[in-house]
Amino acid sequence: MGQLKEFEFIEWIRQRATADARVVTGVGDDTAVLAATTGPLLLTTDMLVDGVHFDLSRVEARDVGWKALACSISDVAAMGGRSTAAVASTALPQGTDEGAAQELVLGLLECAEAYGVCLVGGDVTGTAGPLVVNVALLGELAAERPVLRSGARVGDALLVTGSLGGSLLSRHVRVQPRAEEGIALARDYGVTAMIDISDGLARDLYHILDESGVGARLESAAVPLSDDAVSMAERSGRSPLEHALADGEDFELLFTLAESDAVRLLSDQPFGVPVTRIGTITGTGAVLVLADGTEQELARAGWEHAI
């Protein structure tokens, strides 16, 4: 693989971007042109940096490309939205070979295809520092209204998809955003608030509570622990529950909905991944109910980027 040339690389990407009725003009002009849509638009962006969000000495460039887009798809899902079109930028370390740069793009395209997203443009530059990948993603609403963090109401049930904790062991790279789940929760189950768990259960729950001006009782015994949380606990000296509360990058959906809708959802279990009730929204305070019935204030643990 030779030295990478900017314009040749863009042409290479252009040849691989899939044609789609939603795209009037894709890669290769000053901007992409997308077909008109009806309804509100969702827009989000995520920046991933080698050494912070992934470790290039341990993961493949293709996985990094996948993850860069998957993180944003997860955000759109958490609004009850469907991801449609993305632009991606990358700063490639000096001397990055053509093959690695292409692998990065192939990972992006692979994720785009898996989730029905069109990659419509981007930017490529060099850097004296670590690899940086940025994705900006457009989406449209699947339900009438977006599901905000601020919609939780006292008495709502608190639920989560999948299982939590220890994502660093495996799941944090080939992130599987809950795209169809987010849409169905918004459209069919009237969820009142939703967030994707990127900073850790405790911190992301606080995001909902702070924005909604409510509290919660979180039943620790109900929190679905991933196998990875259990494995990590064996080495870390912390409990699997602590990992589930504080590890980030689960990319599961944390959401609230009316008691009756929760009962219906739990009975339906409509997804390939389980949904679990882990608590209840209250008027004020965030209480962690331990397995022995004792209660403590939920610590605002979780992932905050040190800058």
Site for its own copies in 225-244 (CB under 8 A): none
Is there binding between residue 4 and its own copies (CB under 8 A)?
yes
Residue 208 C-beta: closest distance to its own copies, Å: 10
Quick one: 80 or 240, whose CB is closer to its own copies?
80
Binding mask 197-226 for its own copies (x = CB under 8 A): --------------x---------------
Which residue type sits at 66? W
Stretch that binds its own copies, among 109-117, 148-156, 277-285, 290-298 (CB under 8 A): 148-156
- 108-137 residues near its own copies, rule: CB under 8 A: 120-130, 132, 134, 136-137
Binding mask 40-79 for its own copies (x = CB under 8 A): xxxxxxxxxx-xxx---------------------xx-xx
Is there binding between residue 246 and its own copies (CB under 8 A)?
no
Is there binding between residue 1 and its own copies (CB under 8 A)?
no
Q: What is the C-alpha R_g of the chain? A: 20
DSSP strand pairing (132-141 vs 81-93): antiparallel
Q: How far is the CA of 158 from the CAs of 80, 208, 259, 278, in angstroms?
A: 16, 11, 9, 6
Is there binding between residue 161 and its own copies (CB under 8 A)?
no
Q: Which of 287, 279, 230, 237 is nearest to 257 (CA)?
A: 279
- In angstroms, rounded to a whole number, what is the distance separating the alpha carbons of residues 108 and 52? 19
Quick one: 211 or 219, whose CB is closer to its own copies?
211
Under a CB-based contact definition with an 8 Å cutoff, are residues 34 and 138 in contact? yes
Q: Which two tokens stand for residue 130?
A: 């670590």
Q: What is the C-alpha end-to-end distance of the chain, expressed in Å? A: 35
Quick one: 8 or 295, whose CB is closer to its own copies?
8
Is there binding between residue 297 and its own copies (CB under 8 A)?
no
Residue 194 C-beta: closest distance to its own copies, Å: 8
Under a CB-based contact definition with an 8 Å cutoff, are residues 273 and 177 in contact? no
- In angstroms, rounded to a whole number, what is the distance separating the alpha carbons of residues 60 and 70? 15
Is there binding between residue 171 and its own copies (CB under 8 A)?
no
- 14-43 residues near its own copies, rule: CB under 8 A: 24-25, 28-43
> In 237-257, which positions are buried (b, 16+ CB within 10 angstroms) versus exposed (e)?
eeebbbbbbbbbbbbbbbbbb
Quick one: 118 or 233, whose CB is closer to its own copies?
118
Residues 6+ apart with CB under 8 A from 268: none
